[in-house]
Structure formats: structure tokens, C-alpha cells
Structure 1
Amino acid sequence: MDPCPFVRVLVGNLALRIPVASKPARTGVHPSSSPCFCEIRLKNFPVQTAMVPLVPPDSPLPEAHTLAATFHLGREDLHRLAGKSIFSGKTRLTVAIYTGRRGTTCGVSSGKLLGRVSVPLELEGSEVRACVVQNGWVAVGGKGSTSESKPSAQLHLSVRAEPDPRFVFQFDGEPECSPQVFQIQGNIRQPVFSCKFNCKSIAERNARS
């Protein structure tokens, strides 16, 4: 039996460019001198957090390839996201960028929201072939264009979806006496292993105790 289709969504190569203000702020610290982090969200999955390195304006992206977040999608997740794309618009991966340090102070987040980036996820066919969803600079808070007249912060990120096939197994029977192992694919259960030990059943042991 073939493995079950799983898809792995990888988010990485994060970097942030913040334009230098023509007039320095009267109070506070300019975001370009503060640490930055982001929260990466995909609906119905736990939020993942990663640091975002700052790079000077007009500088090339560093060569280092870093992984910031990974989401593992099974068959049910793929069907749910495909259904969402029909009735509720495209599925989107959202990255919220914050300046300041991670954590909370007196129950309030210590970071200040700088902006968000939303990347539509096209996962059709990703069960059999890898695809690059996004790779490049995106205007923070914009719709993906980096050629706006007003300077804005820019986030570099790469989003990649690739097949991650897995064999899924399920145990059945009485593990102490007659364990059985089934391979699962959708609604199909195929036995792959069974064994019977010379021992008393649970009912017999309970009757004697």
C-alpha cells in the first residue's frame, strides 16, 4: 500500500529592511536599532515565533538559509484548506512583525506591532511535487508590491511546500495476547502484522483476581 499524502510547508530566509526616517524621532528608539521578531500563523495550527534579522536598506540578502517555521499537513488538513479556498477565499499564511523583545510584561506583550504580511497558499499538487509559494521581498502591511511611492518596511521570506509522504499504522486487538498492526490509508485498513501469545485474556485474568 502506498504511503499517505502529507505536505510540509517551510517558512524561512527571514530578513527585515526598515527605511531610515528623515527626521529622528523625538522619543523612543528607532525600530532599526531594536530587536525584531515575528509570529507565523496558519489557521488551525499553533502559532510559531521566530527572530527576524535586520539588514541595512539597499543591502543584499545574506547568503545564510535559515528555517523559521514548519507546518505539517495531513490529508484532512489538505481537504479542509481546499474546501476553504472554494467557499472562503484562498488560504493564507500570515506573518506579523513586531519590534522589541519577545515575551510579556504584566500580561501585556512587550513587542510593538510593525505590520503584517499575508501570503496566499496554493497547495494543489504539492502532495507529489515541491513548489515555491513565495521567495523575495514583500512590503509590510501592503499587498505584495515593493514599488510603492511611500517608503515602507520590507520583509524577505521564502515559503515552500513539498511532499512529505508517511506510512500510518494503527494497533488493534489485545496488545498483551494478540496484537495486530494495520496500515491506514484513508478509510482502508490493511493488516500487516499479527501475533498470538500463549497468555490468558484480560477477562480471564480479571475473573481470577
Structure 2
Amino acid sequence: MIDIFVKQLISSTLIPLRILIESKRKIEISNFIFVLSFIHLFAWIIYLVVVDDSIRITYIPDDGFYYLTLSKNYLKYFTWTFDSGITKTTGFHLLYAYVLVGIIWISGEIFLIEKALFTSLVFVIVLYYFVWRLYKKIGDRNILLVCALLFSSINVFYNVVALVEWPIVVILSFIYIMLGLNIIKIKYVYPGIVYMCISLMGTLARTEFILVPTIIFFIVYILSK
């Protein structure tokens, strides 16, 4: 009788302990994979910062150099022009262009590509921070695994070094989602104003961003009927 009791006691103690250890191990693995994906992206961007121009230009598309040229010309001619002020131009998104203008205005044109790549690195760090905040709020480790998988894709690797608006759009989208999930607390300001500002910035970052809040608005409006 005592033996049975002891076995049951040991079993009732070890099984939850084993589940806890396995769960903790899975959490550690998901964290490790998430951090590993960040290190992977970090190393990739740093590699392009230090590598020779002949290799770097094979990964940066024409659009990236288009942005750089527009931003340099904006400070010279105070208009968006690609051909040194002869004609005005379009075909770009304003927010990222203004970011580059700010970089050039503060630190000059020297090592501009390297500075733009470092800016992309900052965007990546911010993006990973928001994903981590999302994970800590929801508590589902699958968020880390899914984001690690997405951030390790070839499309992400090309876009983060393309010197275009992509990282800003993704970050603003994450902010919009986190506001909706109440992960980012809004204080002292009417929430509608914050949503409007994020929507405006998103639209400046990429024109079709406005589709996201518009769709959400109509869904909420229909459900409220």
C-alpha cells in the first residue's frame, strides 16, 4: 500500500515537472530561433556595410539609388528632382525620402549608402522589439517562431537592404496592430487622433497603406450595426 502511494506521489510530482521542463525547453528554443533570426539579419546588413561596392550594388536595386539621388537633390534644389532640378519627379514614397533627407542634412553625403544601411538596421531592431512586445503581451511562443520564419525569408533579406520604404511600412503596420490589441497604451490623447496619425504616416510611407485602416473601419462599422 505504501509502495503504491509512493509511486503515485512520485508520478504526480514528476509528470508536471517533466511537462514544465519540456514547455520551458520549447520556450527557450523559440526564443533562440527568434534571436538567431535577428543575428542573421544583423550580420547580413553589417556585411553589406563593410563589403566592397562592386558586391554591394548587386543587392541594392535601382529604387534604392533613386531614393538616394532624390534626397540629395532635395537639399540642393528644394524640390523632388532626379535630373538636377530640370524636372520634378514622382514614383517614390515621401516618408522614407524625408528620412534620407534628414540623414544627409545632419551628417552630409559621405558614406551615404552605409548610413542608409545602418538606418535599415535600426528599423530592424525596432521591428524585432515590437514583435517581442507582442509576444510578451499575448504569451504565445508561436509568434516568435512565425516571425522568425518570415524574417528569415529571402524577400525580407532583400528588402531590408534595398534602401526603400519597406521597413517603415512594416513597423507602422505593427504599431497599428499593437494599438488595436491594446499592447501600446494611449495616454493623454484621444485614441482616434493616434490612429489618424499612424494612418497618415503609413500613407506617406506607402500610399496603399491607407487600405489597412479603411478596411478595419468598414469592418467595425458593419459589425456595429
So what's the TM-score if we normalise by structure 1? 0.22
Greater share of strand:
1
So what's the TM-score if we normalise by structure 2? 0.21
